[in-house]
Structure 1
């Protein structure tokens, strides 16, 4: 019976990213999926800026940017007329290298699979997890192979990336509290023409039905997402595109030539009670599901995977104690709870019924939203939230200190200067130290002795504008979040941090 370091159940984006990050760190992984092939429908569309930042560690970002579609702006429609436009061209300026971006999930999965196979790991298809139990220092699982035969297998850890109906979560006996929205949604990928097929995002604010046209790469390609109301909602399983397309055709003048995919679904909002139970971890939709408002779902699962991957590697390599794995739940569950609450408010506003809600959407929103977006602070706040660059782990047990406006647990600010991009050092997976100013000889010597990368950036006023402090010391985790921020360059502070956290110094 073979044994892997980590058995991953589910080969959607979350499972594939976890496998990629682990394989890149030379962790022995096995990834299974009960389906016979990757997804063939676009499903999730948005790839948020924080995901693109982190994808640089796997050389994925440039390829995705070349294959996907940058969204130039969003247009708001009322009574069949385009009433307002919010430009996105400069929305990410000074915050991140990446703006709003679309790359359909089916293409996304295929790209992840290609990169995973290049590392010598293949998804085991038509392979189902039947059950598992914890046996001391490992997990014993039972799999059903494609030929119907059952196979026992062992792994040090089990990662449930198997979706909202997760067999891993159910077998572990972890609750999944929450509820289901009453609205029925439809989604259709189409080839079409009309003013709303111009490569931008278009949203119809009329009445209480939500309707949006999302651009896909290629002329005349788009995704329509809308709500289904009245008596049709009761027959959601049997609806066809023709049953729900009137509004898109009449209100937004969409002329559909071909429907490539159509489906209906209900939206849930749930967060699992625990992200970790012993040697079992839950990630992605197995741990949290919520409304699609803001395109957060897939990106949140990917964030789960990256957060967990470096911690599993450290523990498996004997570079950290088991306590490090507890921070996965404390960091990611806190974010999931906040995200579900936020998307719930946005979803409720977009779909609320009644004259007051209609008045706000059709009369107030088209005036107020473009006006607010003229203010840099508002643009930055909203984009930071949606793009997930605002995520921080300040309350984590492994987040320590403050220097300038940057605290332990923060995402490192993007602070490019002419000819120098401080994010260029973040293409590797490992611990590193940043100094914006002049590093001391003592710090340089300590880092060399510990095998810890030290990156120094000549001080510029641009650094101060992002909240960084001159000559301060920033220790970055392998997922590029700030672990320790200290005003003084004292190697003893670094040494004490690693010791207090049970981490080996100078990890790679």
Structure 2
């Protein structure tokens, strides 16, 4: 990166070039934020294989919401099932079955994608280059930073270029995405308390030959007498990821005597009585586990994400998944604050939400790491001779929703605001993941995913307007009468200069969902112009997933990361206005102009008869 091309002032400097950095930077850049990534190693010098390799369904949803899943969908190995092997035979109902059990019926992307981190990084880097190929800079070493809060760009970072030159870059924010040994965290004097697990783990990627059942069909847990619970996972490009506990007596002093021959020999022992032959070995490592969480994820304009904020074992395959949750939680908030859409305290919710989740992960990881190693933690008070695999299965099942990400939730805060309604309009609590569902555009037999229609690259909240049930009326179908009246009143409010969507910053998109199929034009069925795009829930899947009574309707505000932020009855727009008014910056100057433009454009698409009827409906609702 020649000095003359180095931006001296940017919105955000991101230190580190892994998936957490790349995903965060992609979302920021898509929202018009000026980003600079600095990575101290050339791409060719970084680890080509190894590291994380499993993407759970919730991570896939988050990638999809931000336009990234399609860049990697064809590369990974899709897993929808698992088996457990003991003494060379399949053991039914144990091991990783918990993954699919908790996924089925709760997610449209109902599988895990096994794709090694190198290829995830390649996919996101390719997407980022399409936005701005100059964002990623390597090799550039981040040396230190200072903060002076008196200016617009308070952070000054000192960088060392490959040419030997030292330069200074000023930014509004500094992101540490530089791994477990984070320089940003160290310089920030943010504590990183935790413990080192006594276990040493092997991970390797290889092309192998074996007589083990189901070796290239699904995820496998091998219950080994010598090596605890052994991971066997088909991954991309015909490779298999193998993981197990390495014997302490072979590890020796700091693992200096460990060789590739020793690792392959132990892998063969772990598979006994089945055979194992190595054809090609891409990568291997033996490592100790540090289970740590940073004391805080934000210190003024400095933020930590991914391994810079928390480290743990790979026992539950959480590394890259947790980083994706961090990235997609932080990026939309940071972009909105920088662009002036959200108030500054929105950023505080990143630290509180993600740190609490990381702490829960560490507690889970301590149990999983011990049990995979064949040791039962004292807290279980297990009788002598107990099988660690039975306790591991119990822990996996109890934490299944959290592990696959579908059950991750956040406490109440300015973004997750619950109201004590006399009758709750939905069954999905605020702070929890919004369900996905299949819906249909008017007249189309092809289903669309609700998440697909809600995607906004972290740009907008999606207001789901559950408009109610379509019912027969004469020789046509129209919205049931109680919902129709509320919908017309809502339409009138949303067109008024006082609507929150018009006097607050432009961070809203709307989706109207009708229960059932209408025979008329959507506006005729509704009795008013649709709010945003309109879709039909033909089977009742969406209404059931959200627990909405089709006779009553509801309003559900989805955060850009697919978390339910606020719910209200169909006529409860005042609650939504108060909710958004707490953290969205005002934008009063555009209100009246927007009303005239939007209404005239929407009505202009109707026939003359449709325009007259719609105007009449709107007048009646007033």
The answer to whether TM tops 0.5 is yes
The whole-number CA distance in structure 2 between the counterparts of 1:348 and 1:242 is 26
Query: How far does residue 327 in structure 1 lie from its aligned partner after superposition?
Result: 0.8
The residue matched to 2:72 in structure 1 has which SS? helix
CA contact (8 A) 2:50 2:204 kept: no
1:345-356 map, 5 Å: 345-353=367-375
Query: How far does residue 222 in structure 1 lie from its aligned partner after superposition?
Result: 0.4
Corresponding residue number in structure 1 for 2:581? 499
CA contact (8 A) 1:208 1:351 kept: no
The partner residue of 2:113 within 101, 104, 112 is 101
CA contact (8 A) 2:568 2:576 kept: no
Query: How far does residue 58 in structure 1 lie from its aligned partner after superposition?
Result: 3.4
CA contact (8 A) 2:224 2:271 kept: no
Report runs of 4+ in structure 1 exceeding 6 Å deviation.
354-358
Corresponding residue number in structure 1 for 2:408? 391
Task: From the superposition, tell whether residues 394 and 91 of structure 1 become closer, same or farther in structure 2 (CA, over 3 Å).
Answer: closer
1:305-316 map, 5 Å: 305-316=327-338
1:407-437: CA deviation from partner (whole Å, max 9, x where unpaired): 2212111232563432222221312200223
The whole-number CA distance in structure 1 between the counterparts of 2:273 and 2:366 is 26
Task: From the superposition, tell whether residues 237 and 81 of structure 1 become closer, same or farther in structure 2 (CA, over 3 Å).
Answer: farther
The whole-number CA distance in structure 2 between the counterparts of 1:409 and 1:91 is 19
Corresponding residue number in structure 2 for 1:82? 90
1:181-232: CA deviation from partner (whole Å, max 9, x where unpaired): 111111111111124432322222233623211111344x201111111311
The partner residue of 2:193 within 169, 173, 177 is 177
Corresponding residue number in structure 1 for 2:545? 466
Task: From the superposition, tell whether residues 410 and 504 of structure 1 become closer, same or farther in structure 2 (CA, over 3 Å).
Answer: farther
Corresponding residue number in structure 2 for 1:231? 249
The residue matched to 2:55 in structure 1 has which SS? coil
Task: From the superposition, tell whether residues 95 and 301 of structure 1 become closer, same or farther in structure 2 (CA, over 3 Å).
Answer: same
1:23 maps to 2:79? no
Corresponding residue number in structure 2 for 1:265? 287
1:118 maps to 2:130? yes
Task: From the superposition, tell whether residues 30 and 18 of structure 1 become closer, same or farther in structure 2 (CA, over 3 Å).
Answer: same
Residue ranges of structure 2 left out of the alignment (5+ in a row): 1-6, 377-381, 420-424, 441-446, 469-485, 496-500, 516-536, 591-622
Rg larger in structure = 2
Corresponding residue number in structure 2 for 1:360? 387
Corresponding residue number in structure 2 for 1:279? 301
Greater Cα offset, 283-292 or 404-413: 404-413
Query: How far does residue 357 in structure 1 lie from its aligned partner after superposition?
Result: 7.9
Residue ranges of structure 1 left out of the alignment (5+ in a row): none
The partner residue of 2:491 within 431, 444, 451 is 444
The whole-number CA distance in structure 2 between the counterparts of 1:205 and 1:359 is 14
Query: How far does residue 90 in structure 1 lie from its aligned partner after superposition?
Result: 7.1
CA contact (8 A) 1:444 1:454 kept: no
The residue matched to 1:106 in structure 2 has which SS? helix
The whole-number CA distance in structure 2 between the counterparts of 1:447 and 1:57 is 25
Query: How far does residue 397 in structure 1 lie from its aligned partner after superposition?
Result: 2.9
Q: How many residues align?
A: 496
Query: How far does residue 394 in structure 1 lie from its aligned partner after superposition?
Result: 3.1
The whole-number CA distance in structure 1 between the counterparts of 2:343 and 2:223 is 52
Query: How far does residue 447 in structure 1 lie from its aligned partner after superposition?
Result: 4.1
1:8 maps to 2:14? yes
1:249-304: CA deviation from partner (whole Å, max 9, x where unpaired): 53442222221211111111000001000100000000001121221111111211
The whole-number CA distance in structure 1 between the counterparts of 2:235 and 2:412 is 38
The residue matched to 1:458 in structure 2 has which SS? strand
Task: From the superposition, tell whether residues 475 and 62 of structure 1 become closer, same or farther in structure 2 (CA, over 3 Å).
Answer: same
The partner residue of 1:475 within 553, 557, 568 is 557
Task: From the superposition, tell whether residues 291 and 356 of structure 1 become closer, same or farther in structure 2 (CA, over 3 Å).
Answer: farther
The partner residue of 1:255 within 272, 277, 301 is 277
The residue matched to 2:224 in structure 1 has which SS? coil
1:362-381 map, 5 Å: 364=390
Query: How far does residue 453 in structure 1 lie from its aligned partner after superposition?
Result: 1.9
CA contact (8 A) 1:74 1:85 kept: no
